[in-house]
Amino acid sequence: MTKLADGNETGIVIPQPVGATVQIVVDTLFARIKSEEYPRDTRLPSERTLAAELGVARNTVREALDVLESQDVILRRPGSGSFVTYRSGPARAAPTDSVADETSPLDHLVVRGILEPEMVRLAVVNMTPRMITELSKTLSEIEGITTDVDGFIALEEQLYMQIAEGTGNPLLASCYRLTIETYRQSFRTKLRRRNLTPRRMQDYQKRYNTLYNAIASRDVASAVEFIKLHLVEEQKLLLQDF
């Protein structure tokens, strides 16, 4: 723990003094992240939204986000926003690293084939209208990306996690989060970046739009069938790499 100037304790180590207002914003945002009000892998509200909500200037929010990014609590992607990268404790990292080392790309795809059809089925049944609206917003952001590979991947992960959390089953969502973390830490991520050409991004945007329409219309059969076909295409892409 590090004592800040106002005497409050925080897990953030600030390399140089900041203004009291910036410090308050840092503490507030970090507390929300630690409590998982802003879970790992999700995008923070915009600077404008945070400034209005917290009653501060946008440059104050921007400076606070600079601090959070310098401590690896968030990752800012130009044109895409700020994404939570904070882990609640070091104990989680070691097992995930170990699993990533032992998981082959085929292993990863097999687990996705087990989880995703059931995950989508439950999401269609259980997602609230508000969750579907948030899913639509993420899809709109994905559709706005043409060349930013890292931004596309981050939003893609966010889309899948929204579906996982929409199942209403926290254990299933946790299992799926592990598949994302394993994927992110394996060499497969480099292949993913290499394969995400602008043309392929457009293809994925169309696919996710189809999936969203099936979820929004509560069409279980179409949503599950889509994700199965999507996984077949992912398998074909995997085989091209080897």
For residue 107, name the pLDDT band (cuts at 50, 70, 90). confident
Q: What is the mean pLDDT of the chain?
A: 83
Look at residue 7 in the predicted model and tell me its pLDDT. 37
- Tell whether the torsion through CA atoms of 87, 8, 76 and 34 is positive or negative: positive
Instruction: Please check the confidence at residue 9 and state whether its pLDDT lies above 50.
Output: no
Look at residue 185 in the predicted model and tell me its pLDDT. 66
Q: Which of the two residues, 118 and 239, has the higher pLDDT score?
A: 118
Instruction: Please check the confidence at residue 241 and state whether its pLDDT lies above 80.
Output: no
122-157 burial, b if ≥16 CB within 10 A, otherwise e? bbbeebeeebbebbeebbebbbebeebbebbbbbbb
For 162-193, the pLDDT digits (tens) are 999 999 999 999 999 888 888 776 545 566 66
Give the Cα separation of 239 and 242 in Å (integer).
5
Instruction: Please check the confidence at residue 223 and state whether its pLDDT lies above 50.
Output: yes
For residue 139, name the pLDDT band (cuts at 50, 70, 90). very high
C-alpha pair distances (Å), 228 with each of 49, 61, 131, 185, 198? 37, 42, 23, 25, 24
For residue 92, name the pLDDT band (cuts at 50, 70, 90). very low
Tell me the fold of 92-241: Four Helix Bundle (Hemerythrin (Met), subunit A) (1.20.120)
Pick the CATH number of 2-84 from 3.40.50.720, 3.40.50.12660, 3.30.300.30, 1.10.10.10: 1.10.10.10
- Give the contacts of 33 (CB within 8 A, at least 6 positions apart): 68, 73, 74, 84, 86
Look at residue 219 in the predicted model and tell me its pLDDT. 97
- Domain-wise residue ranges, the chain: 2-84, 92-241
Q: Is 64 helix (H, G, I), strand (E, B) or coil?
A: helix
Percent of the chain scored above 70 by pLDDT? 81
C-alpha pair distances (Å), 136 with each of 29, 110, 216? 25, 28, 9
Average pLDDT rounded to a whole number, residues 195-201:
86
Instruction: Please check the confidence at residue 137 and state whether its pLDDT lies above 70.
Output: yes
Instruction: Please check the confidence at residue 119 and state whether its pLDDT lies above 60.
Output: yes
For 23-79, the pLDDT digits (tens) are 888 888 988 898 888 888 889 999 999 999 999 899 999 999 988 988 889 998 887
- Give the contacts of 46 (CB within 8 A, at least 6 positions apart): 81
